[in-house]
Amino acid sequence: MKKIFIVLMISSFCFAQQQKRKLVWEENFNKKSLNESFWNFELGDGCPNLCGWGNNERQIYTTTNHEFKDGNLVIEARKEGEKYTSTKITTKGKKEFLYGRIEARAKLPVGHGLWPAFWMLGANIDEVKWPKTGEIDILEYIGRDPHMVYTTLHTQDSHGNTINTKRTAFPKIEEGYHVYAIEWDKDKIEFFVDKTLVYTFNPPVKNDDTWPFNKPFYILINLAIGGNFGGPDVDDKVLPQKYYVDYVRVYQ
């Protein structure tokens, strides 16, 4: 009886803790156009300052590779002549967040060379530059490595290299929608796919080089094509492919 009481107390405490968190911002993509009070389009190929967006990516970002359908942002990767096109949006300068649960519900595109992502960058990026600003990759999926989800952080300590990372197998990740999330506080960042905890980042030493995650970050959503991580080869036969994002939510 005593054990049952303790379990009930713990469960009640955990439930109470969850109840304290409130939805502070959401984007449900229910309008017919992008809400530019919250979002920016990032356009072009990154040139001249960051050609290939720093990763030798092959896409050109436009304002015409997306639509809003059935409450989804739908980003479409295309081959148009000799060019690849796609869409990238960010909340830079408009919505920034420090700590909380940040999540998106999304359905992945499939095919060799595709690289959909849901991620965050430090809002001070223009002042301190990358990777000192920090980067939180909540979701990365690459078509050349099916059934795998990548969750990664970049810091000055890692010189931007992919060191603080986890590659997790989900045999049916390409089927339907899944929720990709972080739980972020002053001490650690936990990464989730649906209800599965896949990675925890909690460096023992926290300074500007190892833990730039004590400052506001903004959100990015994009579908890259090719690149160092996505792979130089793109299977044109799979194009066009669509990346569906149902919602983005932030709880604090």
202 burial level (CB within 10 Å; 0-12, 13-18, 19+): exposed
Strands 59-61, 83-86: pairing is parallel
Closest CA to 246 of 73, 89, 75, 31: 73
- The pairing of strands 66-69 and 178-184 is unpaired
Using CA atoms, how far apart are residues 252 and 98, in angstroms rounded to an integer?
9
Amino acid at 174: E
Using CA atoms, how far residue 145 sits from 35, 115, 155, 175, in Å, is 33, 10, 24, 15
For residue 125 the two structure tokens come to 């990026």
135 part of the active site: yes
Catalytic residue among 103, 140, 175, 183: 140
Cα separation, 124 vs 116, in Å, equals: 24
Catalytic residue among 57, 76, 135, 183: 135
Specify whether 67 is catalytic. no
Residue 29 to residues 3, 33, 138, 178: CA-CA distances in angstroms?
47, 8, 19, 17
Catalytic residues: 135, 140
